[in-house]
């Protein structure tokens, strides 16, 4: 799992993860296959891997919109707000929320 996530230094709850032997071997050369939505470009298609937030209203809002781990989405635009399509629904998201949605694709 460590290699799959790109040897993270922090868990989704914000706790420090001590580096193991695989992390020391990997150094800084391995890139995660999971990254925040705000780092993607328009046209990106992928699946939600997880949501990293300590703000429970954000989680409730995203769940009510269908943005949950495993859901497929398409990033339509990134400025002035992030617009994603999930199923047949198009949703505008603030940047601070887009930073909390980790995707793979």
pLDDT band at 84 (very low <50, low <70, confident <90, very high): very high
CA separation for the pair 2, 71 (Å, rounded) = 22
User: Taking 80 as the threshold, does the pLDDT of residue 45 lie above it?
Assistant: yes
In this prediction, residues 44-53 reach a mean pLDDT of 93
Q: Is 65 within 8 Å of 81 (Cβ atoms)?
A: no
Q: Where are the alpha helices (DSSP H) in 7-104?
A: 21-26, 56-64, 95-98
pLDDT at position 29 is 55
pLDDT band at 40 (very low <50, low <70, confident <90, very high): very high
């Amino acid at each position: 799992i460590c290699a799959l996530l790109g040897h993270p230094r922090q868990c989704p709850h914000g706790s420090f993860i001590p580096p193991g032997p695989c992390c020391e071997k990997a150094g800084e050369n391995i890139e995660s296959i999971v990254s925040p939505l705000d780092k993607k470009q328009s046209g990106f298609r992928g699946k939600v891997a997880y949501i990293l937030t300590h703000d429970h209203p954000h989680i409730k809002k995203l769940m009510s919109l269908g943005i949950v781990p495993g859901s497929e989405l398409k990033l339509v635009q990134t400025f002035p707000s992030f617009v994603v399509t999930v199923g047949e629904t198009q949703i505008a998201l603030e940047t601070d929320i887009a930073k909390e949605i980790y995707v793979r694709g």
